[in-house]
Amino acid sequence: MMRIVLLLLLLLAAPAPAQEDYEKANTAYSKGRFSEAAELYRKLEAEGYRDAELYYNLGNAYFELKDLGRARAGYERARQLAPRDADLAHNLALLRTELRDNEPDPGALVRLAALFTENELVFVSSLFYFLAAGLALAYSRRRNEGFLWGVAAALVCLLFVGGLLLCQKLGQPGRPAVVIPQTVHLKNGPGREFTDSIPLHAGTLVQALRQQGDWREVAALERVKGWIRSEELDVLD
Binding interface with another protein (CB under 8 A): 16, 18-19, 22-23, 26, 29-30, 44, 48-54, 56-57, 60-61, 63-64, 66-68, 81, 87, 90-91, 94, 96-102, 104, 118-119, 122-123, 126, 129-130, 133-134, 136-137, 140, 181-183, 188, 195-199, 201-202, 221-224
**What is the closest distance, in whole angstroms, from the C-beta atom of residue 24 to another protein in the complex?**
12
Q: Name which of 171 and 181 has its Cβ closer to another protein.
A: 181
**What is the closest distance, in whole angstroms, from the C-beta atom of residue 120 to another protein in the complex?**
9
Pairing type for strands 183-187 and 215-220 reads unpaired
Q: Name which of 3 and 106 has its Cβ closer to another protein.
A: 106
**What is the closest distance, in whole angstroms, from the C-beta atom of residue 132 to another protein in the complex?**
8
**What is the closest distance, in whole angstroms, from the C-beta atom of residue 3 to another protein in the complex?**
26
Pairing type for strands 175-179 and 224-229 reads unpaired
Task: Calculate the alpha carbon distances from 195 to 198, 206, 226, 232 in Å.
Answer: 10, 20, 10, 18
Q: Name which of 115 and 137 has its Cβ closer to another protein.
A: 137
Helix 86-98 / helix 52-64 crossing angle, nearest 10 deg = 30
Cα–Cα distance, 213 to 95 (Å, whole number): 32
Cα–Cα distance, 53 to 87 (Å, whole number): 11
Phi first, then psi, for residue 210 (nearest 5°) are -75, 160
Q: Name which of 209 and 221 has its Cβ closer to another protein.
A: 221
Cα–Cα distance, 200 to 214 (Å, whole number): 18
**What is the closest distance, in whole angstroms, from the C-beta atom of residue 118 to another protein in the complex?**
6
Q: Name which of 3 and 175 has its Cβ closer to another protein.
A: 175
- The end-to-end CA distance of the chain, in Å, is 44
